[in-house]
Structure formats: structure tokens, C-alpha cells
Amino acid sequence: MTALAVVANLTVFALSLAWLLRRRRRGAAFSPTVLLALLLGGVLGAALQAGWGADSAVVARTLDWVGIVGGGYVRLLQMIVMPLVMIMILSSVTRLDDARALGRISGGVLSMLMLTTALSAAIGVGVARLFRLSADGLVRGVREVERGEVLTRRAADMAALDLPALLQSFIPANPFEELTGAHPTSIIAVVVFASLLGIAALALRREDPVLGRQVAEGVEVLHGLVMRLVRMVIRLTPYGVLALTVRVVARSSPADIAGLARFVIASYVGLALILLMHAAFLALSGQNVRHHARAIWPVLTFAFSSRSSAAAIPLNVETQVDRLGVSPAVANFSAGFGATIGQNGCAGLYPAMLAVMIAPSVGIDPLAPAFVVPLLIVTTLGSFGIAGVGGGATIAALVVLSTMNLPVALAGLLISVEPLIDMGRTAINVSGSITAGAVTSRVLGLTDGSTADPGGAPPPGGTGAGDASAPAVA
């Protein structure tokens, strides 16, 4: 009976994949197909849970096979992340006329990421108080207690880490090890290494123009090869999103979600406010917010279903360059940095909400300036080096709570709804990195105005057409 049920479920899933494939072959647009995959995955996941129960053997076995598609797609994206970051940063820097432009680009991106993270933390404080969230009202089950004990042990292991050591880890002692993603800060280390290689190539071009041109041509050959691989993987996005959504929805517990409904609602209200904050920055920089929203929808959909900012880097870069007209150099820095620094949802909103919830349990007024100001500073600085994969928010929470001398074990009380909230947080992380890239590119006058705002006027300071015309991801 179980085997037949699993076969029936997988047959429906396979037919759904075939239907999406047929739509694409008939010329259906990419973005609507991704949206349909998300909705269809939700329906199939809910049907699995309603028919068999979230904890049934039928659902577990079905999801094992569905995971081949979803997990395989994520692994393919993870496979190309490091080569993509490496070659795109190197290619972007070697195209610059002046190495000093690199400082303006990286400085602008980092400033935007830090500013939006600080504002996201402030939104977290406000939302937590608006909804009167408190750790005292949460239910402590067996899983929550076990999770709290794990977090307490992890906090003890992280006690030896400090900001100087973290900043030092950004400098790669072994670039080849960093290319394997061995450390949480590996992406930043690869960005630093690729930037230094690019600066060396610029210096070589001044010293020996012939050799410098040969190096640049070699970089472009590698760039073209990696981009072709990336395009192959990105075409699989609708099918990966379908499988990932089925998996998440089928495993979600309606009872757990209902028990923590107030926290879930408050979290998504906070995430919505952060999106409005991103829109405000875009509008202030003179960009078409509606066009921006339409352009970023596919990458946000993938980030939502995969819960991985790092895996979304290829789609992130492609969206910025091809659909928003962002300079390739800016796009790659914002996508690379944004996956591990200044994550608005995981490292900004979430830790601040937890801190405000937990503070009253130890006799601290969560609205006292002596508590709020240090919290915003710690949250912003603590966002450095947060891994851009599922679970990064937990690391950020441990850093903030332990630094503020708050009990980290209480964070385990939210384990039941963690995946549901993490999907939204990850989408906001990616939105923040795209916003940082779009605003920085516009402010520096590097944006291709015809792409950023179809039919609109070029941005002040130049169109950046020469830079933006570089080969894009997809």
C-alpha cells in the first residue's frame, strides 16, 4: 500500500514537471513559470499533508524522491557559486579603467548593506513591541528544549570569536580551500582574492600592455565558459522551485504554526516593512520601483523556496545585470557581500525581534535607549560573516543574544516555525543585496538606464553602457 501510494504521488509530481517543461518549450515567460511552479508546489505539498499526514511514511518516502529534483537543483547552484563569484569579480575588476573605482564600488555596497541592516533591526524592535511579543508566552515542548540546549552549546563554542578575528578571516590564507566553501566567510574571502587578482591584472596592463591584454582575454574566455554553465543551471529554476516548495509545505505543521501564529504574522509584517524600506531607497535614487519589483520576482521566489542566499547568487547577479541594468562589477560585489554580510532578514530583523522578546524575561526594559542603541550596533556589526544558507539566522541570533548577555536557549522555542519564517527572511536578504547593488550603481552613474527603467531617461552621471554591456549570467 505504501509503495503504491508513493508511486502515485511521484506520478503526479512527474506530470507537474512535464507540464512546466511543456510551457517553457512553448515559449512561456520565465517569471510567470516560476510563480506557477511555486503555487503548484504549494498545492501538491498541502495535498500530500492532507492526504497522508506530515509525519507519515508515505510522505517521507515521497519527499525523498522529490528531494532528488529540489536538492539536486540547489547542489547545482552551490556548485557554480564559487566559480561564478571568482570569475565575475575578476572579470569585472579587469574591465575597470582605474583601480580606485573598486574602492568606490565596494564602499558603496557595504555602506548600503550596513545601513539597511541597522534599519531592519530597528523595524524588528518596533514590530516585536507592536505585537507585544514575549518569550514567556511560548510553549516549551521536547523539541524546543532540545533545541535550546543545542543553541546554548553552540553559543559557548562561539564565545571565542570576536570582530577582529572575523575580519581577519576575510583574508584568504589558502584561496583554494576557500573555493571549497570551507568556512562561513569563504565567499567574502573569494571576493577579496579575486579583487586582488584583478588589481594585479590592472597593474600588469600598465606595465606590459601586451601581456596585460593577453591576461584580460584569458579571463574573458573563462568568463564565457562559466556563464554558459550558469545559464544551463538557471534554466532549471521552475522545476527546482516546484520540488522545494512541495517539500517545505508537506513538512509544515499547521498546529505548530497556529500555536506561534502571532510571531509568524509579526515576522512577515516586519519583512514587508523592510521591502517598503528597500522601495524607498530605490525611489530616492530615482529608479522605477515597479519595474524593479517585476524584475526581482524570480530570484526572490527561488530564495523563498530554497532558504539559501548563497545559492541564489547566480540568479541575483543575472537579475541585476540583465534586468536592472546594474554594472556587472557592482552586481557581483553586492551579490557576493550580500550573501554573508548585512542580511536584512536573518541578521537584522530576526535577532532584534528575539532580543526584544527575551529581554523582559531577565528584567530588562526592551525600549530603554541603553538597551536599544547597543542592540542596533551589535546587530549591524554581528551581521558580518553570517553564512548565506539555511540556519544563518540562528548564528546571527547567537551572536546578538550572547553579546547582549541574554539567554540563548529561549531562541529554541521557535523551532516549530523556523522553516516557514526562514523562507521569507531569505527572500528579504536577497532583496537587500539587490537593493544595495541597484542604488550603488545608480549613485555612481554606472547603471544602464534603458534596462533599469525601460523607456526612461538615462541616470545622472552616465549610462554605464560600456560596463553594463558585459556578458551577463543569463
Domain boundaries, the chain: 2-468
Of 414, 366, 129, 147, the C-alpha closest to 264 is 414
Contact present, 417 and 156 (Cβ < 8 Å): no
- Least confidently predicted of 243-252, 329-338, 439-448, 464-473: 464-473
Q: How confident is the model at residue 137 (pLDDT cuts 50, 70, 90)?
A: low
In terms of C-beta density within 10 A (0-12 exposed, 13-18 middle, 19 or more buried), how is residue 254 classed?
Answer: exposed
CA–CA distance, 397 with 403 (Å, rounded to integer): 10
* Arithmetic mean of pLDDT over the chain: 81
| Phi-psi map region of 181: left, alpha, beta (phi>0 left; psi -120 to 50 alpha) | left
Contact present, 412 and 150 (Cβ < 8 Å): yes
473, pLDDT greater than 70: no
Q: What is the pLDDT of residues 295-322, one digit of tens each?
A: 998 899 888 887 788 778 888 988 999 8
CA–CA distance, 244 with 132 (Å, rounded to integer): 33
Helices (H) and strands (E) in the chain, counts: 22, 0
Q: How confident is the model at residue 145 (pLDDT cuts 50, 70, 90)?
A: very low
Classify domain 2-468 at the CATH superfamily level.
Sodium:dicarboxylate symporter (1.10.3860.10)
CA–CA distance, 204 with 465 (Å, rounded to integer): 25
Amino acid at 172: P
Percentages helix, strand, coil for the chain, rounded to the nearest 5? 80, 0, 20
Distant-in-sequence contacts of 291-298, Cβ < 8 A, 24+ apart: 291/452, 291/453, 291/454, 292/324, 292/438, 292/452, 294/31, 295/319, 295/323, 295/324, 296/323, 296/324, 296/430, 296/431, 296/434, 297/31, 297/34, 297/35, 298/30, 298/31, 298/34, 298/237
pLDDT of residue 430: 94
Q: How confident is the model at residue 113 (pLDDT cuts 50, 70, 90)?
A: very high
Q: What are the CA-CA distances from residue 265 to residues 152, 261, 291, 423 (Å)?
A: 27, 6, 28, 13
41, pLDDT greater than 80: yes
Torsion of CA 195, 200, 206, 208, to 10 degrees: -140
Query: For residue 459, how many other CB atoms are within 10 A of its CB?
Result: 23
Query: For residue 15, how many other CB atoms are within 10 A of its CB?
Result: 10
pLDDT of residue 78: 79
146, pLDDT greater than 60: no
Q: What is the pLDDT of residues 405-443, one digit of tens each?
A: 787 666 655 665 677 788 899 999 999 999 999 999 999
Q: How confident is the model at residue 341 (pLDDT cuts 50, 70, 90)?
A: confident
* Overall size of the chain counted in residues: 474
pTM for this predicted structure: 0.73
pLDDT of residue 273: 97
CA–CA distance, 439 with 93 (Å, rounded to integer): 19
Helix axes 186-207, 57-94, angle to 10 degrees: 20
Of 97, 80, 382, the C-alpha closest to 227 is 80
Higher pLDDT, 167 or 210: 210
Cα Rg of the chain (Å, integer) = 22
Q: Which three cell numbers stand for residue 322?
A: 540583465
